[in-house]
Amino acid sequence: MTQCPDVPGRLIVAEQFETQAAFEAHQTRTKASDWFEITAGIPRHYTLRTED
């Protein structure tokens, strides 16, 4: 996690997952959390990359 250099108060978060299934489990868990509900109005942008 790093502070965005262009927007004060914005954090840039990077996460890595070993498998697609691990990412999907994380998404499922996150969407059931209080944090997801509290931050529902904040846009989320994802970039997914896979290694061959």
> Can you tell me which residue has the tokens 């250099």?
5
DSSP state at residue 1? -
Tokens at 32, concatenated: 């059931």
Please indicate, yes or no, if residue 11 is contained in any of the structural domains: no
What percent of the chain is predicted at pLDDT more than 70?
Answer: 98
When computed from its CA atoms, the radius of gyration of the chain, rounded to whole angstroms, is: 13
Q: What's the average model confidence in pLDDT over 42-46? A: 86
- Cα angle at 13 between 42 and 25, to 5 degrees? 85
In a domain, 27, yes or no: yes
The pLDDT of residue 52 is 67
Q: Which domain holds residue 31?
A: 16-42
In a domain, 25, yes or no: yes
Tell me which H or E stretch contains 2. Answer: strand 2-3
- For position 24, what pLDDT does the model report? 93
Confidence check: pLDDT of 19 > 80: yes
In the structure, what pLDDT confidence band is assigned to residue 27 with cuts at 50, 70 and 90? very high
